[in-house]
Structure 1
Amino acid sequence: MKRFLPLVTLFISSFVFAQTPCINGTAGQYPCEGLDLMSRITLNTFGSDRGNDSWGWTDPQDGKEYAIMGLGNGTAFVDITDPVNPIYLGKLPTHTDSSTWRDIKVYNNYAFIVSEASGHGMQVFDLTRLRSVSNAPETFTEDAHYNGFGHCHNLVINEETGFAYAVGTSTFGGGPHFVNIQNPLSPTAAGGFGSDNYCHDAQVVIYDGPDADYAGREIFFGSNEDRVSIVDVTDKNNPIGISNGFYGSIEYTHQGWLTEDKRYFIIGDELDESAFGFNTRTIIFDVSDLDNPVVHFEYEADQEAIDHNGYVLGNDFYLSSYRAGLRILDISDIENGNMAETKYFDTYPGSDSANFDGAWSVYPFFASGNIVISDINRGLFIVRDALLGLNEATVSSFALYPNPAKNIVTVSSKIDPLEKIEVFNVLGQKVMDLNFVNTLSENIDISKLQTGMYVLKINASTTKRLLVD
């Protein structure tokens, strides 16, 4: 969000909601397509009046997954290994004052946190401490602190090199402020680049894209208010500006992310919807020649909402789109100028207008398929692909009742004999495997299943959702 935008009107609920499938276009009160709601933790639970950024950490020791969410007054840590029953482990309070803006990135099992709050600097938190929380939720303390800058809008980390890039500080004209974090508990100033305008957000990579001139170099792709800024930051003592990319109807170049082949840079302009009346607009740059980035095409969605943070995973672009929630776009044909929305989960039902409420950010990089959405007004959402990626049969000879069920569920058919029933939990794990011969009806004992949502796969062809209560 742009630094000088007014505070949004906030909504706080005292309830925590869990596991609701996306059926007929809604998951409870939330419009959706192809994404089930696993759970939601409200701002009230976190003891805050606003949400902002989010990121994630997977413990290399045991594979547990943790959501990290920025709040107005600190940073929350949540174990989402079981996405239906997330555990709020605790909060690291802000270093100074509360702020609308907070940003988190992770390197080497440490979280690095910045904020627009005056004098905040960069907090460092040892994430391995989350393994031994005994009395959740705890109030954590930071493990280290970097005070080479005060307020900071955003933080970028190149995990391959162990350097952090703080952007939007009062140093280097708001351009990237380099910090060596190879020893996370002893961050060290490493220079900066102040020759190309204020930087709002960025991505930094060891370049392995199509431009052979820069192979193996550390390249900074900045979203710099009115331009895309490409900088070679390999030599921290001598960063070199490579080029700028411009596009039409610029209002505020906010954030961007590279496709995995490094050929395209997908960016959003945060204020063009309200300034020019576009629907949600995404600009795709061809950066195959880093010396000459050019607009490849623009994509305009059906919604009026303002786009915020977007990330690429494979052939999908995950876009937090404020009042329109999370939108997932297929970019497999981006070369031919085509993108198409395939799934969505709207965390702000009732309006998709161009206002600063709703989904601030998304973290789609968990191996399990868990997707974290941080919402300004409604807290932390965990969603994932509709169970097993299967759609419930609209026409089927099989009936399932009662549903929800508690101890026994009956599966029956007037036509097709039951041969096999497989039951899968929300993680896609098979928890029951039953075989039958010449039967049209069976009572299935589900008394040992935990409360939640399951999928029954019948005769390897028909899928039915089952709620166990």
Structure 2
Amino acid sequence: MKPLLSILLACTSFALFAQTPCSNGTAGGFACNDYDLQSQIPLSTMNSTRANDSWGWTDPLDGKEYAIMCLIEGVAFIDISDPVNPVYLGKLPSHGGSSTWRDAKTYGNFAFVVSEDSGHGMQIFDLTKLRDVNNPPVIFNEDAHYSGFGSAHNIVINEETAYAYGVGTTANGGGPHFVNIQDPLNPVNEGGYAAAGYCHDAYVVIYNGPDTDYSGREILFGSNETEVVIIDVTDKTNPQTISTIDYNNLEYTHQGWLTEDHRYFLLGDEQDEINLGLDTRTLVFDFEDLDNPTLSFEHTGETAATDHNGFVKGDTFYLSNNAAGLRVLDISEIGGGTMTEIGYFDTHIENNEAGYNGAWSVYPYFESGNIVISDRTQGFVLVKKSEPLGISEVSASEVIVFPNPASEEIVLQSEAGFINKAVIVDILGNILFSEDVLTSEENRIDISNFSEGIYFLIINNTITKKIIKK
């Protein structure tokens, strides 16, 4: 049976780049630091010319991971269970026309899609359809439709309460629009909140932070163009503004995300780099007291690129930084006013200037560690943190492998005696080479037929070496 990548290349004319380690600051033509390229699917494969937002879904039945890629004319679904050989399964066309802005989130086994397409409403799609797709790519149909609003800039879902919040909609003056999705195929309009004005993006959570006055309440943190708004939306019939906060050099309050302890809110202003000439700026608010939020500090990034969407996972902040691509920051010392960039993968090779080019969004929540980057022109890009050297490799000084990286063959030398067994596996654990008895202290292994990427050489069942095929 042919490898999937070979089948794809034989059946199509598009270029699909796969499994390229970050070496000497580049991977597959992209600038990088400590993040490897797993694979890429260009927009042409998805019959599109522009990408925007992205999200992900993990099938609870078998743990398979799927990327959800928003495009100007619909939503693409990609099977990334084999991250080196992703499969473009097909597309759900827009309910209206095309639009630069489209957004999708998930609840259970359903995706909910909104767009600024006029009259688009909210599409509901059963993700379990992705389990059995014959002869991909296919055109999918929506399973239900909600028309309680027309266009919407974004959608937020609180999976704990099964409520979707349309924001920037044609209803409620653009304020949050409440939709009960406890029965996903039969969404129910439960009103909205116009008092705080237009909401561009939001984060909604059952609050469990330091302000015990609001413990257990459903709180919406809105990025409302000119301020951050904190709203108690527990009672959908009577939502209440708790507080608002602005900041210096305010240009456009775009999007923010809470730390997992609900103490700090990391905000991006979409236009301060463009209009004021600032380097990438992340504002960190202290929400110890929700009635009296304060600005804790501002973090300045490494480039002049415009920040876009940022997400927190543990002590790490993953920022889609437009022309600077994915930037990864350590926020473990955020309480002390410190954030530190620890890696990046730059999908916009032309420059790192301010403006609306490059990475629109990222999705860092897959258990596998694979991270989706939706780049406006590069399309779907999948990356993963570079694998660290194992303890056995550091201590195995008696075994030498060279050259590394290699293109044709690798040489094994042992200073301590004969090598009894050598096995080479790929990142999925597939055995590509195995020899039980090697006959000398120097052995040559042909890897010329391997695809470019990362492999692991296991020696005598105890020593592991990472090798790179270039």
Q: TM-score, normalised by structure 1?
A: 0.90
TM alignment of 1:37-436, pairs within 5 A: 37-388=37-388, 398-400=400-402, 404=406, 409-413=410-414, 423=424, 425-427=426-428
Paired with 1:463 and 1:281, the residues of 2 have a C-alpha distance of: 40
How many Å apart are 1:16 and its aligned residue?
Answer: 1.9
Number of the residue aligned with 2:468: 466
Secondary structure in 2 aligned to 1:189? strand
Paired with 1:339 and 1:429, the residues of 2 have a C-alpha distance of: 39
Distance 1:143 1:276, change over 3 A: same
Distance 1:36 1:447, change over 3 A: same
8 A contact 1:105–1:157 mirrored in 2: yes
Secondary structure in 2 aligned to 1:275? helix
How many Å apart are 1:411 and its aligned residue?
Answer: 1.8
Number of the residue aligned with 2:4: none
Distance 1:412 1:201, change over 3 A: same
Secondary structure in 1 aligned to 2:100? coil
How many Å apart are 1:240 and its aligned residue?
Answer: 0.9
Secondary structure in 1 aligned to 2:150? coil
- Calculate percent identity across the aligned residue pairs: 56
Number of the residue aligned with 2:443: 442
8 A contact 1:202–1:221 mirrored in 2: yes
Distance 1:240 1:102, change over 3 A: same
Distance 1:429 1:170, change over 3 A: same
How many Å apart are 1:402 and its aligned residue?
Answer: 8.6
Is the deviation greater in 217-226 or in 442-451? 442-451
8 A contact 1:89–1:138 mirrored in 2: yes
Distance 1:402 1:250, change over 3 A: closer
TM alignment of 1:16-31, pairs within 5 A: 16-31=16-31
**Structure 2: gaps spanning 5 or more residues:** 1-12
Secondary structure in 2 aligned to 1:129? helix
Distance 1:437 1:161, change over 3 A: same
Paired with 1:183 and 1:467, the residues of 2 have a C-alpha distance of: 50
Secondary structure in 1 aligned to 2:248? coil
Give the letter aligned to residue 179 of structure 1. V
Secondary structure in 2 aligned to 1:345? strand
Distance 1:306 1:402, change over 3 A: closer
Secondary structure in 2 aligned to 1:57? strand
Structure 1 vs Structure 2 CA RMSD? 2.8
How many Å apart are 1:173 and its aligned residue?
Answer: 1.2
How many Å apart are 1:410 and its aligned residue?
Answer: 3.3
Number of matched pairs: 454
Secondary structure in 2 aligned to 1:22? coil
8 A contact 1:387–1:426 mirrored in 2: no
Question: Alpha-carbon deviations, 1:151-196, whole Å to 9, x = none?
Answer: 1000000000000000001111111000001111011101111111
How many Å apart are 1:399 and its aligned residue?
Answer: 3.1
Paired with 2:49 and 2:37, the residues of 1 have a C-alpha distance of: 22
Paired with 1:404 and 1:437, the residues of 2 have a C-alpha distance of: 20
Secondary structure in 1 aligned to 2:70? strand
Paired with 2:425 and 2:226, the residues of 1 have a C-alpha distance of: 49
How many Å apart are 1:354 and its aligned residue?
Answer: 0.3
**Structure 1: gaps spanning 5 or more residues:** 1-12
Number of the residue aligned with 1:454: 455
Paired with 2:57 and 2:204, the residues of 1 have a C-alpha distance of: 19
Paired with 1:429 and 1:137, the residues of 2 have a C-alpha distance of: 27
How many Å apart are 1:456 and its aligned residue?
Answer: 3.1
Paired with 2:53 and 2:279, the residues of 1 have a C-alpha distance of: 23
How many Å apart are 1:405 and its aligned residue?
Answer: 5.7
Paired with 1:119 and 1:86, the residues of 2 have a C-alpha distance of: 33
Paired with 1:200 and 1:386, the residues of 2 have a C-alpha distance of: 34
Q: TM-score, normalised by structure 2?
A: 0.90
Paired with 1:56 and 1:416, the residues of 2 have a C-alpha distance of: 49
8 A contact 1:75–1:94 mirrored in 2: yes
Distance 1:433 1:257, change over 3 A: farther
8 A contact 2:390–2:464 mirrored in 1: no
